[in-house]
Structure formats: structure tokens, C-alpha cells
Amino acid sequence: YRDNIASIKIRLSKNEGYLGGMVNDIAAGRDQIVWALDGGNTPDDLKAMISPLEALRDSLRFSANTVDQEGRYVFSGTNTSAAPMAYDASAAPGARYSYAGNTNEQRVVVGNGLTQVANDNMKGMEQLLNRLDATIATLGSATLNPNDPATRGVLEANLAGFDAALDLVSGKIAVLGGKQNILDTLDANHGNVSLSNQMAITDIGQLDMGVAATELNGYSTALQATYKAYSRIGTLSLFSAL
């Protein structure tokens, strides 16, 4: 159990680090879109945001498609051979990204009758990538008008996408923290049980078998005498004294 717990804790800790980096990217992207929605921006101001947004989009996709030391995708559920954020270059901007993993859980035994989910998935991140892609395409338009309702609609949808993604990833981080706390408690409990077992084994190993046999024989004789006395008492009545 403790080996399983140690292995899961390492995996969860690494995943938490990956997700923490994504939170930073998402927060930075959200700030960028809030700035883009400022009505005082010129078309050139908005076009200057294209390159940072492209870098952000690619960074988020790269993080979502993280692989472990064995080349397995970390955020694909149990479909670890498939990159979770699939990309179709032939699709229109706003529809190029899709989730290619699954949401199945990999459960590992961590105690008697206890299991813990050891994997994760990134379903939902494709929505933010598509909205980012649509924003980048809109800002690259030759007829870009910062105050055009259509342009602002794309930006507002992207802002909502950042908020949803932030909730998604932050929620995962909170869950990972809770899992690690539970595993710490279980590991401590298993450690206490292991220590008690070792102490018992040590005590048995140091036992003088001759003395123990003599004492056990004495206890058995006394117990038999007690049972006989109770049996005799159970047969007595007032007439027994007459």
C-alpha cells in the first residue's frame, strides 16, 4: 500500500505543477483579452496582441499535451497514447481543436478496500483553445474594427472561455491537494500499523519459550479450576446446604 501511495503522490505532485503553470498562462491571457475589450484601442493595438495570444495558445496546448518519462500523455484519462488536445489544420478557426482522450479513471489500491484515482484529463481545455484561435483570426482581419459588435462578441466569448478554463484548472488543483492530504493520512496510518507489527515481531523474537510455556501452563491450570468452581456453583441451591 505504501509503495502505491508513494507512486501516486509523485504523480499528483507533478500534475499539480503542470496545472499551476496553466493557471498562470490563463490568468495572463485573461488580462490580455480584458485589455483588448478596452474601447480606446486602435486596430494596430489589437493586431499587436496577436503574437502574444498565439504564444499563449501554443503554451496551453503544449501543457495540456504533457507526457511523462515513459512517453504517456498525462491528461488523456486512461487513453494515454493519444494527445488530449488534437488539432485539425483543415478546420475553420474556432473549430480546430478537440479533446482526443477520455474521462475514465485509473484507480490504485491504497488500503484495505480503499482506492485512489491516480490519473486526470483535460477535457474542456479545447474550448478555450478554439476561442483563442477565433480571437486570433478576428484580430488578423484586414477590416478589423475594435468597436464592431461582432469583434467584441468574439472577445467577450474568449473572456468567458478564460474564466471557464480558470475554474476548470483551479478546481483540479484543489482536488489534487485534497487527494494528497488523504494519501498523507493513509500513509501515516499504514506506517503506524507497520511499526506496531515490527514491535510485536521483536517482542515475540525475544520471548523465552521455556518461561512462556511454564506461565501458559499455570494460566491454563488456573482457568480450568475456575471453570470447575463456576460449574459447581451453578449446580448449588438452597437444598444443597441442608
Tell me: the pLDDT tens digits for 65-86? 999 999 999 999 999 999 999 9
Q: What is the DSSP string of 144-189?
A: --TT-HHHHHHHHHHHHHHHHHHHHHHHHHHHHHHHHHHHHHHHHH
| Euclidean distance between CA atoms 34 and 153, whole angstroms | 13
**114: which strand partners?**
111
What is the extent of the structural domain holding 232?
213-241
Higher pLDDT, 222 or 18: 18
Sign of CA dihedral 71, 76, 81, 85: negative
Is residue 200 in some structural domain?
A: no
Cα-based angle 6, 12, 13 (whole degrees, multiple of 5)? 90
Residue 63 C-alpha cell reads as 501543457
Sign of CA dihedral 108, 191, 189, 120: negative
- What pTM does this model have? 0.77
Confidence band (pLDDT; 50, 70, 90) for 128?
Answer: very high
Is residue 47 in some structural domain?
A: yes
> Residues 116, 228: one domain?
no
The residue written with cell numbers 503522490 in the block is 9
> Residues 138, 228: one domain?
no
Using the predicted structure, report yes or no on whether residue 201 has a pLDDT greater than 80.
Answer: no
Is residue 115 in some structural domain?
A: yes
Question: Residue 36 sits in a domain of what CATH number?
Answer: 1.20.1330.10
Is residue 70 in some structural domain?
A: yes
How many separate domains does the chain show?
Answer: 2
